[in-house]
Amino acid sequence: MRIEATKKLFTVDEYCRMAEAGILAENDRVELIEGEIIQMSPIGRKHAARVDRANDLFTAAFRGKAIVRVQNPVRLNLHNEPVPDIALLKYRSDYYESQHPSPEDVLLIFEISDTTLRYDRNVKLPIYANCGIPEAWIQDVKGNALLVYRDPAGKRYKTQITLHQGETIALVAFPDITLRVDELLGQAAG
């Protein structure tokens, strides 16, 4: 006799209640993806340095224009509350204290992928596109490249650009602010 088993998919509200009840500790490295609680990789020194570098660059470039949210949740829909490395958000004077940002608040999601490139591209990127996040960047640490995704359409981005050292990039939301890819990537991989 075959027994059918089904997964229990959690909503963002249920996930948050688990944290409030102490089932999930504040320092647990988890995120809610497609209703499943996903254990995130530990943060290594190279990853941490690249997050800090991007935070420094984004904060200087977008001060007073946008909020740089570092490794904090973004509520995308009923079953998704990822914790991207950086989210660039529309500016709000309360810094989203009253609620987590929603897709309409997100200008850019930036993931730094040293061990998670396949996961970020194949799992998280389609969610970001499907939720209408206008722009997503993935720093491919091993490939020493910046992968830029724009123009969400369903579960994919119509525009995909790969940038390397020596090139520049401007966000769709801020075309007048140019960032050097060298500054984002830092030292060549190795």
- Domain residue extents for the chain: 43-185
pLDDT grade for 189, boundaries at 50, 70 and 90:
very low
The mean pLDDT of 72-82, rounded to a whole number, is 94
What's the topology of domain 43-185? Answer: tt1808, chain A (3.90.1570)
Q: Region of 69 please: left (phi>0), alpha (psi -120 to 50) or beta.
A: beta
Contact 141, 114 (CB under 8 A): yes
Task: Give the pLDDT confidence score for residue 1 in this predicted structure.
Answer: 67
Percentage with pLDDT > 70 across the chain:
97
Q: Region of 16 please: left (phi>0), alpha (psi -120 to 50) or beta.
A: alpha
Task: Give the pLDDT confidence score for residue 72 in this predicted structure.
Answer: 92
Q: Region of 92 please: left (phi>0), alpha (psi -120 to 50) or beta.
A: beta
Higher pLDDT among residues 188 and 153, named by residue: 153
Instruction: Supply the pTM of this predicted model.
Output: 0.91
pLDDT digit string (tens) for 91-145? 999 999 998 899 999 999 999 998 899 999 999 999 999 999 999 999 999 999 9
Average pLDDT value over all residues in the chain: 93
